[in-house]
A = this chain, B = another copy of it.
Amino acid sequence: MNSDADPRFQRSRQAILSAARALLLEKGPVAVTHAQVAERAGVGRATVYRHWPRSDELLAEAMATVPMPLLDNPTAPTRQWLTRELTTLAEQLALADVRAVATTLASTALWDQQMDARRAQFATILAERLAGALDAAQDRGEVTLAVPVRDAAAFLVGPIYYRSTIEHGPAGSTLIETLIAAIGAWSAP
C-alpha cells in the first residue's frame, strides 16, 4: 500500500517522530505511546502502528533525532582542544533535550538491548577519542598523565554528566579547568 517514496507516507512519518520527541521532552518516555503520539501528531492510531509497530522502537528513533554530545577529532595543542570540547559537552548536557535523552538512555539501556547498544556506542566513542588524544599528547611531551587513559572519560566527562543529571547545575569553566589540570602535569604552552 504505502511505500517509502510516497510523500504522504514520509510526511506522516516525520509528524509522528516530531510528536514522539515533543512528548519525550515534555512528559518523559512513558508518554511515548501509540495513542498519545497519534493525538499529538494529528494522525490515526493505525498510522502510528503502521510506521512503528512497537512504541519502544518509536521512542528509540525519536531519541536518535537529538544529536548527542561527542567530541570532535583531536587537534593540538591538546589542552586547548580539551577545554573547547568539554565546554561544548557541558553546554550540550545543559540543554533540556540532550539531558532528557541522556538520562532516558542510561535508564532504558538496563532493560532494552537496542538502547543498551546505543549507550555502549556513545560510551565507547567518548572513551576512545579521549584515550587516543591523551596518549598522543603524552607521546608529544604535552602532558604527563596522572590518570590511566582508560579512565580518562570517566574522569573528565563523569563530573560534567553528574553535575548536569544529578546536581542539575551548570558545569562551569572552573570545574572544567580543574578537571583538565588534575588529569596530569601539563608542560608550559
- Per-residue CB proximity of A136-151 to B under 8 Å, as 1/0? 0000000000111001
A171 to B161 alpha-carbon distance, docked (Å):
16
CA distance A183 to B175 in the complex (A): 12
Q: Is residue A6 within 8 Å, beta carbon to beta carbon, of the partner chain? A: no
CA–CA, A123 to B30, complex, Å? 24
Asked if A104 lies at the interface with its beta carbon under 8 angstroms from chain B, I say yes
A76 at the interface (CB under 8 A from B): no
Known: A151-B159, A178-B151. A111 touches B28 (CB 8 A): yes
Hey, which chain B residues are within 8 Å of A111, CB to CB?
Answer: 26-28
- Any B CB within 8 A of the CB of A188: no
Main secondary structure of the interface of A (DSSP, over half): helix
Report B-chain residues with C-beta under 8 Å of the C-beta of A108: 28
Q: How many copies does the complex hold?
A: 2
**How far is it, in angstroms, between the C-alpha of A179 and the C-alpha of B158 when the chains are bound?**
12
Question: With a CB–CB cut-off of 8 A, which chain B residues contact A157?
Answer: 162
Shortest beta-carbon distance from A150 to chain B in Å: 9
Answer yes or no: A64 CB below 8 A from chain B CBs.
no
CB 8 Å contact bits of A8-30 with B (1 = contact, 0 = none): 00000000000000000011111
Whole-angstrom CA separation of A29 from B29 in the bound complex: 10
User: Does A119 sit within 8 A of B, measured CB to CB?
Assistant: yes
Tell which of B26, B161, B181 touches A166, judged by Cβ atoms closer than 8 Å.
B161
Q: Tell me whether B155 and A179 are in contact (CB under 8 A).
A: yes
B-contacting residues, A158-189, CB 8 Å: 158-163, 165-168, 171, 174-175, 178-179, 181-183
